[in-house]
Structure formats: C-alpha cells, structure tokens
Amino acid sequence: MQLVGISLSPYFERAVITLDVKGALDEVELALPPGPFGSPELKAANPTGKIPYLRLPDGEFIPEGQVIAEYFNETFEGPDLMPATALEAAKAKLVCRTIDLYVGPHTSSLARSITRGIRDEAAIKAAVEDGLPLGLDLIEGYLGGGDYVVGDAFSFADTALIPHMFHFLVFLKEFEVTVFEGRPKLAAWWDKHKESDIVVRSHKRMAAALEFLLKRIAAAKAQQAT
Ligand SMILES: N[C@@H](CCC(=O)N[C@@H](CS)C(=O)NCC(=O)O)C(=O)O
C-alpha cells in the first residue's frame, strides 16, 4: 500500500497521523508524487492533480485525505478515531469538514506564496481579512472546551487540526493573522497537545518537508539562472 504526497500537505499529514496513532506507520509506504501539482503525470495518477492519494496493492485507488484517514482507521488495529456516539461522530466530522471547506483553501493561498513563490494577492487578501478569521472562529465555536476537540478522547477532529496548526504557526505569522487571540478554547487545546509525541512527530515531518521543498525551489531557481 502506497500513500502518495508530502507531509507539508495537511491532507496527507492527517492520514499519516492516523497511521501513527494506529501504530501502523510501517504498514504503508510513503511516496513523493510523480510530478508537480496539476502536472499531466500527477493527473494521470489522480485526476484532480492533487495529493494525497492511496494506491492499494490490487490497483485500487483512494483520493482525498479524510477518506484515506477513515480507510486507515477501519483497516488497522489500534484506537478508533471515530467517536462512538452518533452525536460525537457528527461533531468530529463537522470539524474535519470545516477545516476542509473553510480553512484549508485559505491556508493554501498563504502556503503557496511561500513554498512556491506564487503570490495571488486577491486570494491572500481574502484569506487574511475574511477566510481565516472565519475559519478559526468556526473551529473555536465547535471546540468542546475539554482536552480534546470533541468529547474525552483523541479523534479525527484532533487529527485534522494538528497539521493545520503547523500551517497557522509557520505561515500565518508572515501575514499578521492572529491564531489564539480571542480564541481561548483553541489556545487551551493547543497547550494540551503541542508537546505530545503525536504532534512533535507530525510537526517534525512537516518541517522536514518544508525544508525539502524550499531547497528544491532554490535549486530550480539557481538552475534557471545559469
Ligand atoms: N480535497 C483534497 C485537497 C487536497 C489538496 O488541496 N492538496 C493540495 C496540497 S496541500 C494540492 O495537491 N494542491 C494542488 C494544487 O494546488 O494544484 C483532500 O482533502 O485531500
């Protein structure tokens, strides 16, 4: 089984955290995409031209980070990341969906301007002034106020939020979007988790991926200049 992508992608990393929580990191090979985002090579493998996607040994293919994470949750032993009650499961799904629909598209515009040097000023303005403050306020509103995003156990909602915290902490500071101000539940949740083994390992993978991408971009620019 091969998971294709790179850990700087919060959608890819959400699936990797799921493997880590399950103790199944060794069960899945992590592979870089066959070409740049949107390239013909990547579109041949995944029609959206995006990462992540999962390739199963029998040729089956599963795209979309949350769908892959749920497949891992059902495939491997270990703690169940889907809360047991219908209400808590709905709350966890709501946080994942909010991150995917209201947060991710905006963090992407900011990340892209740093990792790919593509500055879409209109998208950055929309993210900084409206999109991210709304996304962060929605998450603050949905946080239960306890140790975990939902209920009293680690769930998909925590799994989805952890990689986005890396993007918030690394990319937002360049753009003057405050993360914790006026969001006490998010601040308390982060304080509780930021030094946990799962978060430290995840953010280490993400930092290494960022360094790898920045070096690759610098090398490509240097080659263009010669
Ligand atoms: N809905 C997809 C989103 C995946 C996504 O946006 N991945 C980004 C990397 S973080 C990507 O591949 N972007 C390609 C592009 O912007 O062209 C999922 O949940 O997996």
Residue 27 sits in a domain whose CATH number is 3.40.30.10
134-165, pLDDT tens digit by residue? Answer: 999 999 999 999 999 999 999 999 999 999 99
User: What pLDDT shows up at residue 165?
Assistant: 97
Among protein residues, the one whose CA lies closest to atom 16 of ligand 1 = 37
- 48 within some domain: yes
Residue 138 sits in a domain whose CATH number is 1.20.1050.10
Among protein residues, the one whose CA lies closest to atom 6 of ligand 1 = 50
11-64, pLDDT tens digit by residue? Answer: 999 999 999 999 999 999 999 999 888 889 999 999 999 999 999 999 999 999
User: What pLDDT shows up at residue 102?
Assistant: 97
88-132, pLDDT tens digit by residue? Answer: 999 999 999 999 999 999 998 888 888 887 889 999 999 999 999
CA of 171 to the centre of ligand 1 (A): 17
Token pair recorded at residue 23 = 């103790």
How would you classify the pairing of strands 29-31 and 2-4?
parallel
At 58, the amino acid letter reads D
Task: Tell me how far apart the alpha carbons of residues 70 and 201 are, in angstroms, rounded to a whole number.
Answer: 20
Task: Tell me how far apart the alpha carbons of residues 161 and 224 are, in angstroms, rounded to a whole number.
Answer: 37
- 209 within some domain: no
Range of the domain at 100: 86-199
Token pair recorded at residue 123 = 């998208």
216-225, pLDDT tens digit by residue? Answer: 888 888 888 8
Nearest ligand 1 atom to the CA of 10 is: 10
CA of 50 to the centre of ligand 1 (A): 5
- 215 within some domain: no
- 226 within some domain: no
pTM value? Answer: 0.95
Task: Tell me how far apart the alpha carbons of residues 168 and 105 are, in angstroms, rounded to a whole number.
Answer: 13
Instruction: Please check whether residues 98 and 37 belong to one and the same domain.
Output: no
Total domains, the chain: 2
Dmax over CA atoms of the chain, in Å, equals: 60
CA of 14 to the centre of ligand 1 (A): 12
